[in-house]
């Protein structure tokens, strides 16, 4: 399994637009004892222009970057992670090729919630 596995599940890497969702994701990561997980943002198209990949929405109205992040680590860090330990549960940019945990998101269909 890697983060592209979300697509195989009909889902996508999680996108976070508000504090409540961010809190929920942090809690989920902690609960499962996963201390570094991929989130659904990247700046692969243009360095420094962070977007949520599935929706195509810019990371602008809400973010939770750690202090000094994203630092684009010598221009090699283009994927967004939640880092519980190293960055005190804030976001960091890291190299996309790293193999680490991830959280997929999908939409509840109407029948499920209805
Ligand atoms: Ca970084």
Q: For residue 89, how far is its CA from the centre of ligand 1 (angstroms)?
A: 14
**CATH number of the domain where residue 20 is located:** 3.10.100.10
Q: Is residue 11 part of a domain?
A: no
Q: Is residue 10 part of a domain?
A: no
Mean pLDDT per 10-residue interval, the chain, length 114 residues: 80 96 96 95 95 96 96 87 97 94 86 58
Task: Categorise residue 94: left if φ over 0, alpha if ψ from -120 to 50, beta otherwise.
Answer: beta
| pLDDT of the residue at 110 | 63
Query: How many domains is the chain built from?
Result: 1
Where do the DSSP E strands lie in the chain?
A: 12-13, 36-42, 51-52, 79-83, 90-94, 101-102, 104-105
Q: For residue 96, how far is its CA from the centre of ligand 1 (angstroms)?
A: 11
Q: Is residue 105 part of a domain?
A: yes
| pLDDT of the residue at 100 | 92
Q: Is residue 3 part of a domain?
A: no
| pLDDT of the residue at 107 | 86
Q: Is residue 6 part of a domain?
A: no
Q: Is residue 65 part of a domain?
A: yes
Residue 95 to residue 75: CA distance in whole angstroms: 9
| pLDDT of the residue at 112 | 57
Q: Is residue 93 part of a domain?
A: yes
Provide the domain limits for residue 33. Answer: 16-113
Q: For residue 71, how far is its CA from the centre of ligand 1 (angstroms)?
A: 5
| pLDDT of the residue at 103 | 92
Q: Tell me the sheet residues that pair with 105.
A: 12
Q: Tell me the sheet residues that pair with 46.
A: none
Q: For residue 88, how far is its CA from the centre of ligand 1 (angstroms)?
A: 13
């Amino acid at each position: 399994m890697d983060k592209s596995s979300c697509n195989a599940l009909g889902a996508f890497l999680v996108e976070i637009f508000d504090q409540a969702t961010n809190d929920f994701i942090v809690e989920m990561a902690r609960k499962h004892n996963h201390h570094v997980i991929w989130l659904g943002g990247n700046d692969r198209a243009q360095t420094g222009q962070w977007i949520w990949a599935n929706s195509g929405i810019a990371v602008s109205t809400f973010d939770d970057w750690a202090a000094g992040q994203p630092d684009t680590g010598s221009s090699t860090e283009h994927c967004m992670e939640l880092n519980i330990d190293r960055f005190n549960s804030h976001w960091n940019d890291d190299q996309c090729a790293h193999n680490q945990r991830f959280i997929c998101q999908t939409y509840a269909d109407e029948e499920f919630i209805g």
